[in-house]
Structure 1
Amino acid sequence: MGNLRILVIDDSPSTRRGLIELLHPLRADIEEASNGKEGLAIVESANVDLVITDMDMPGMDGLELCQHLQSHPNTRGIPVIIVSAFDSEGDIDLGFQAGAWAYVSKREAFTELLKTIEEVLSKFSFHRERLILVVDDSRLVCRMVKEGLERAGFQVVTAKNGRIAYELITQRKPDLILSDLDMPVMNGFELCDTLQASLEYNTIPFVVMSTISDRAHIKRIIRRGAVSYIVKPFNMDQMVILVERILSDQFQILVKERERLESERSLMLGSIASLISALEARDPYTRGHSETVAEIVGGMTTLMNASYEEIEMATIGGRLHDIGKIGIRDDILFKPGGLTPQEFDMIKQHPIIGANILKPITSLSDVVSMVLYHHERPDGRGYPHGLTSVPFWASLVSVADIYSALCSKRPYQDPMPEEKVLQIIHDVRGTQLTEESVELFMAWHATKNSKQER
């Protein structure tokens, strides 16, 4: 701990000498003062890393000193340890309320002080290296949270909306984000979704602070990627404890594990997607079909104001919907003419084959039903199970699959005009396709056309 500068404040010269002797193993540069006023002058004129102060002193006592240090930005982050003979619960509570980082009884200083200093400096070093981004359109909330976190030793930057916050994030990646939800320009939901969609930023812990305490609302933002939720108004001590917990080593281990699993999952999905591309590449009529379906399903899901996870899941389902065709014989799969009933029965097995391929992959459990049921129909004439109630996500794949097939050139037919395809999709709503999926598809198609016309 070379070059560590510690200020010892006590109105008793003998007590100061005793404390300085205790600090000898630290090999620190020691300054001393007889009261808070003298100590404050030293702090303001020199770089002090730690203040050790008595509570009861003439001129300015330890509590007043703490409060003064906490009220000024330049001294707010300096850790203070109170060493006092006043060690009742009330005295200790007053010390922490004033801003002390630790409180040691003079009776226990000989055995506890060095250990406490080590803990405080370790905590301070950890905090000082961490950048917190506070996002709220209320200047009062931003100032209160900023000052509270700076008192705890953190670096803090603020933004009044999600757009400004994202600009700050691209300039310097924060270690944690505290964000309101209801803000202009870009709200907290949109900021969270934007970060979750980024491989670079989706591991930044995102904590929501909001006046809304509805459990369904809280679950919604947690599903979208937030790691915690704190209801306004909150106590700043409560906030600091939450931030410390999230930034703890254990949490960082979990984040690293999440990054590893995401990397393995991406590699696995890339391998499966390559298999599908290789399968489709053998047939010029189906080349790119799965990517088209994935794009459509992802676009439809986006219109629902779905979470990033739901959009990703739906897109993956669209991309993998025909993975089961890997298990179908080539002479049937690429047959240029019509299929016999027996051959079509074999084709109808591809959803089951695909689901069986994906079932062992736990992270794709939501995708399995999309693969298994994308050929089911509301009228019960679909396959493989003849369901009359088609799962929602599978129904999105169904309509995208039909649109892509009808718009593509096939051995037995030329691509249909767009207007005719849309009419067919409209006509089969309620029989081959669900009402809800057709309605959402038509909304996506209209949005796509409006973008192309710009």
Structure 2
Amino acid sequence: MESLYELVINSLPISKKKIMLIDDEEVIHNVIKNALKGDKYEIFSMYEGASAIRDISKVKPDLVITDITMPGKDGLQVCMEIKSNSDTTSIPVMILSAHADDQIIEKGFNAGADEYITKPFSMEEIVSKVESVLSETLNKRKEKILIVDDSPTVISVLKNGISKEGFTVITASDGDEGLQKALTESPDIIISDIEMPKMNGFEFCKQVKADQITKHIPFVALTSKGSRGARGLGKRAGINAYLLKPFTIEKVVVIIERFLAEKREILEIERDLMLASISSLAKALDERDNYTRYHSENVAKYTVMIASSIGLSKEEIEKLRLAALLHDIGKIGIRDEILFKKDKLSPEEYKTIQEHPEKGASILQPIPSLKDIIPYILYHHEKYDGSGLKGLNGEDIPLGARILAVADAYDALTTDRPYRKCVEKDDAVRIIKENSGKHFCPACVENFMKIFEN
């Protein structure tokens, strides 16, 4: 029999693809919105480049469609800024332009555009191009490969061959630049030449393996030397594998896939251990207090229901479920005489209770696989009107934290506590509804109400 969580997850609607449309002409917005109307796409209209760049990290679009000629930042500048930022570089960009000149089109692709459409265009053409670009994006892999070589020819051959397999490729021309990119780009694998100016491959590898941030990255040495002496130097430096020149792209891909398979296996083991630890921590927290036993599980259940009603992806809902199970983990460090006190708390004791989101975030900080859920735990006691613990307001509060706030409040209101009796479910719903726009996010309350009414 499926659990409530599995039933909700398996019945989720397909989430809409988000498209940011940047054009200073209202008529273009109307035409494209009409062409892409329906349940597949959500259009975010922007009318100039600067505001689009400012909001792109907040919107997180699946595709950007931009005109070239606009006041302020033009489309080429917008495209270059998107592609030069590591947080947005993977977002495909489609350029719209009245210019059909080959030189202008070449400038568009040189700026990093994935597609170019000339005006006027038909509705069928825009739909076809959007579907094509999004389909190609789906087939791209998330893994990043860093190639370091002082030969432009070698870099070009490797980049073209590896990119065709769907990998994201980052390049550097020497060890110094490679080390910087290893630190900032967090590649999954490094492929580096040995004989390079400034810093050779052995020294580059040694520095990669000496840094806590990069030491786990597999290092593949590209060399024409296969002598025992070179292998000895490589072993001491920390090189994981060798590629002897001349090489084939097929052999390069085999080595990449081997290391990625090993990494996936390690991550699965770590995830299983992490989930077991999470379950134990959540259970220990709930068992500590008879009043809040099952609180974490209840909050997780309500959180999943609200998130699914909003239409979040399965991946995001799973993150929220974990965040809900651990949202009060910071209370583990609070003394029993404060946590279970029946009388009114002193200002100092109340301050200690208020610190539990921050303490919870600190407890989880060392676990890399939980980094995405930490903001939800840290900000789940913020209030929509800005009167919460850290003063965040509105949509500056992460959506996951806003959902958690409603789920947490409902279970708290309908559960006995040492200092008060629970309220009836109808009264709890009324209290939450009355605080929509004040304590709680209106959209989260609206979706919570749908669940309660059903």
TM-score (norm 1): 0.45
Tell me which of the two structures has the higher relative contact order, counting C-alpha pairs closer than 8 angstroms and 6 or more residues apart: 2
TM-score (norm 2): 0.45
- Structure having the higher Rg: 1
